[in-house]
Amino acid sequence: MSHEQDAIYKVCSDFFPEHGRKFIMDHRDDRALLIDWCELADIVLDSRHQLLERKEALDRLRSELPPFFSHLIRHFTGEQQNIDPIVRKYFSVELKKQVARDVWTVTPALRWVVIIPFVLVNLPRHSQRVTFLKSLLWSMPERAQQVGAIVYRHVDAVMWERLRYDVREIIPRGAPEWVRYH
């Protein structure tokens, strides 16, 4: 959520002030709701609570989750219909690169160690994995070694071999087939 608010919506509002306000408010409200649900889940899972209290918490979760998923679909659809066209039409290449850098900056390094391998493992096609890595390197070529080290350490050997063949600049220093580019 901070990616959208701290990077994407910030730039969108430069073009159209207050355009993403509804979505930002949704994020605020949804965050509060998720915190509340975490507390309910803790009650459900904690055997120190009375059985009736645990059942009430579970019943509340059961009743509130389905409408939330409908809300979530409307929220994502609204973002796609209202924010994506602004990004495609008004963001220059340099502005898109800056947003990517801002997203990288607001995300702690320990999260990238989880995010990058998660995306790579869950993309169904090798060409999509290559495109994902090349888009990161396109916007942040100075991060090639860092991204490569994350990929090298956190994907299986077969995926690493395929990716390093197609995106040679991610090969970390000292790894087999690393070459100096400058």
In tens, the pLDDT along 148-171 reads 999 999 999 999 999 999 999 998
Angle in degrees, CA 24, 87, 7, rounded to 5: 50
- pLDDT category at 15 given cuts 50, 70, 90 is confident
Tell how far CA 139 is from the center of its chain. 16
Q: Which two three-digit tokens encode residue 97?
A: 């690169």
- Report how far Cα 29 is from the mean position of its chain's Cα atoms: 19
pLDDT for 181: 62
Q: Over 50: is that where the pLDDT of 100 sits?
A: yes
How far apart (Å, rounded) are the C-alpha atoms in residues 56 and 44?
9
pLDDT higher than 60, residue 86: yes
Higher pLDDT among residues 178 and 95, named by residue = 95
**Is residue 182 very low, low, confident or very high in pLDDT (cuts 50, 70, 90)?**
low
Share of the chain above pLDDT 90, in %: 65
Residue 72 CB coordination number (10 Å) = 12
**Residues 37, 60: Cα–Cα separation, whole Å:** 9
State how far the Cα of 140 lies from the Cα of 127, in Å rounded to an integer.
20
Q: Is the pLDDT of residue 1 over 70?
A: no
Look at residue 13 and tell me whether its pLDDT is greater than 90: no
**Rounded to two decimals, what is the model's pTM?**
0.72
Closest by CA to 129, choosing from 170, 175, 98, 181, is 170
pLDDT at site 36? 94
